Amino acid sequence: MTETALLSLRGVTKTFRSRRSPFARPTLTRAAVDVDLDVHRGETVALVGESGSGKTTVARIALRLHDPDSGTVRFEGQDITRLGERRLRPLRRRMAMVFQDPYSSLNPRHTVGVILARVLRNHGMPRDRATLEGLLTQVGLGADMLDRYPHEFSGGQRQRIGIARALAGRPSLLVADEPVSALDVSVRAQVLNLLTDLRDEHDLGLLVVAHDLAVVRAVADRVAVMYLGHIVEEAPAELLYRDPRHPYTQALLAAVPRPDPGRPRPAVVRGEIGGPPERGCPFAPRCPRADDRCRTDMPPLEHLGGGHRVACHHPGPDD
């Protein structure tokens, strides 16, 4: 794409410092390492990886809910990396988040109407009943639900309310953090299709965080795969699913159930995501292709053509 990105991250790095006890030495966790990522209007970008890969940190940095240690965040062409809260506040309604857990993200003491009205009030927007009813209608809920409480709804309905709340400020960027992981399988596709319809209707940029490549396959235009804070592969969705080149991406796809169980597939990578090695590729300790070079030299994120980027010394098709 040649037009200016709605959201653009360049060289974003974030390290968290934590202590197990007041007397212990601090532990440093690099949640994002030199991350470059763009989201354009009318586009859905999926950020995928296991728990602990850093994808939620990147999403929160995109909304300036975390400050990056280094790098830049541009939104609607403006550098917002170091903007103070006073100058950032007018932009807040132009960017919104849909949270993972629809059960805990809504105040159980307030009706749906009060929940939506408070968002509109915070943004200085009209909060008449017609406006509130319109928010519910566009997410497929009836206007009569304004006077009901969150506990009266199913998980899928609560997530629709969460989406309506995110849309209240009329954003141009919507970040959905694992928006269907807490929902029944039967309603996941409905919620994802709703997000896609709203993206098209409002010309939104949509960043979807997920741990499962199968979940975002039908809705993503582009997919970026993260591992231990690094983007290890990025490509248009159709290309990435057809021709993954990084062994971690191949492992994630191998874990997805297939309708033809007899079809050959690469072995699923064993073990769980852990701390990064001191040198070399962060995936090397789990990689079936790793050699001495992988264990000593960090692979750069290189272009393969067609918008396909991969960080691997030995990129290749599935074995």
Which tens digit of pLDDT belongs to each residue from 195-245? 999 999 999 999 999 999 999 998 999 999 999 999 999 999 999 999 999
pTM of structure: 0.92
The chain-wide mean pLDDT, for the chain, equals 91
Note the pLDDT of residue 2: 47
pLDDT at 267: 52
Q: Which residues contact 150 (CB under 8 A, 6 or more apart)?
A: 103, 106, 107, 108, 112, 115, 158, 161
Calpha distance 166→135 (Å, rounded):
10
pLDDT of 261 > 70? The answer is: no
Read off the pLDDT of each residue in 148-162 and give the average, rounded to a whole number: 95
Average pLDDT for 137-160: 95
Short-list 206, 283, 296, CA closest to 33:
283
pLDDT beyond 80 at 24: no
Q: Is the pLDDT of residue 132 over 90?
A: yes
